[in-house]
Amino acid sequence: MKKPYVFMILVLVLLLTALTAGLEAQSADVQGTVKGAKGNPKSSASVKLTGPGNYIAVTNVRGQFFIRQVNPGTYTVTVRQGNNYQEFIKRIPGDDLDLKVTW
C-alpha cells in the first residue's frame, strides 16, 4: 500500500519543481524611455540589450521603446544615436529602463 503513495508524492514533488523552475525563468516585456541631459526625448535612438539574450529596439518620437519577451538576467544596455552612445548595466526584470544619456 505504501508504494503507490510514495510514487504519487514523488510525482507531485517533480511537478511542483518543474512549475517553480518555469516561473523563475519567464521572460518579461521591457519598456522605457531615453532622454537627454536636458530631459529632451531621444527619437530614433537604438537601444540594444546584450546579456543572456540579445535584443534591439528603436525609440519613437517621445523617446520610448518596447521589447517583448526578454529573458531574465543582467544586461549591458547600449543606447546609440548617430555617433553618440552610452552604456548602462541593468537587471531584467527589476531595474528601471528610463535611461538618461549625457548628450
**Nearest CA-CA partner of 65 in 35, 89, 90, 39:** 35
Is residue 74 predicted with pLDDT exceeding 70?
A: yes
Residue pair 51/76 in contact by the 8 Å Cβ criterion: yes
Per-residue pLDDT tens over the stretch 14-59: 665 555 554 456 899 999 999 999 999 999 999 999 999 999 999 9
Model pLDDT, residue 77: 98
* 84 belongs to a structural domain: yes
SS3 content of the chain, % helix, strand, coil (to 5): 20, 45, 35
CATH number at residue 33: 2.60.40.1120
Average pLDDT of the chain?
88
Does the residue 10 lie in any domain? no
- How many domains does the chain fold into? 1
* pTM assigned to the model: 0.76
Asked if residue 13 is part of any domain, the answer here is no
Question: For residue 66, what are the domain limits?
Answer: 26-100
* SS3 letters across 35-50: ECCCCCECCCCEEEEE
Q: Is residue 5 part of a domain?
A: no
Give me the pLDDT at residue 27, please. 93
Q: Looking at the domain assignment, is residue 6 inside a domain?
A: no
What percent of the chain has a predicted confidence (pLDDT) above 70?
Answer: 77
pLDDT of 6 > 80? The answer is no
Q: Report if residue 37 sits inside a domain.
A: yes
